[in-house]
Amino acid sequence: MRNIFLVLMIMMSCKSFPQTNCSQYTILPLRTYTDIPEDQCYYLKDTNNELQAFVGTWKGVWNGKTIFISFKKVANKYKEGLNFNTDIIIGKFKTVDSNGNILFNNLQIADDDAKMEGLGFINMTDKYIVTYYDEDVCDMSGTIYLTFANAAKTQLHFSFNQRNEVLTSDCYFHGWPHADRPEPLPNPDIILTKQ
């Protein structure tokens, strides 16, 4: 019985820290659209350097606000739910009003805490999907779709689809009219320009 318990504990600890013991990865291109074995040391690598075009600071204006988004490439990141490693982009941003007052700013947070985290390209398109989750704004979340708006890749179409929120009474804007609620990201679409 003691040995069974020990074996179960070892199996659970291996599942809790997947792919950490990989001395070598099976590398696949980022745009691999087949089933990938879970927790078997697979790594979807940006072999064509496609994510590099997103890297940098981008600026956009909407509703009297200006947003600065800094995208960074993160290599060999384990993705929970997908159960393999992949290259992604993460995003941090600062939003200011028309007077330059800072409304939102998470540029200084650690990369592991970034509010925007890439998922990958939509099958056979150049549209890149990014998830957004912000516990500082009452768990606001949604999906961002990024596509380049010009051939030079200096303009980026940014489409944010916010999830319907269930606001609890402890949320600081609970009960506010929808028009008065915080708007950290442009919604609907805008064009961002690379700085």
What are the pLDDT digits (tens) for 23-65? 899 999 999 988 888 889 999 999 999 999 999 999 999 999 9
Is 116 within the bounds of a domain? yes
pLDDT of 2 over the 70 cut: no
Dist. CA 146–CA 163, nearest whole Å: 17
Is 98 within the bounds of a domain? yes
pLDDT at 169: 84
Is 6 within the bounds of a domain? no
Give the model confidence (pLDDT) of 101-116 as tens digits.
Answer: 999 999 999 999 999 9
Q: Which of 31, 30, 118 is nearest to 69 (CA)?
A: 118
Is 11 within the bounds of a domain? no
- Confidence class for position 14, pLDDT limits 50, 70, 90: very low
pLDDT at 126: 93
pLDDT of 5 over the 90 cut: no
pLDDT at 130: 98
Is 12 within the bounds of a domain? no
pLDDT at 166: 75
Q: Domain count of the chain?
A: 1
What global pTM score does this model have? 0.85
pLDDT at 18: 56
pLDDT of 91 over the 60 cut: yes
Q: What is the CA radius of gyration of the chain?
A: 20
Is 86 within the bounds of a domain? yes
Give the domain extent around 124.
18-194
Is 10 within the bounds of a domain? no
- Confidence class for position 159, pLDDT limits 50, 70, 90: very high
SS3 8: helix
Is 1 within the bounds of a domain? no
Q: Using CB atoms within 10 A of its CB, is residue 91 exposed (0-12), middle (13-18) or buried (19+)?
A: buried
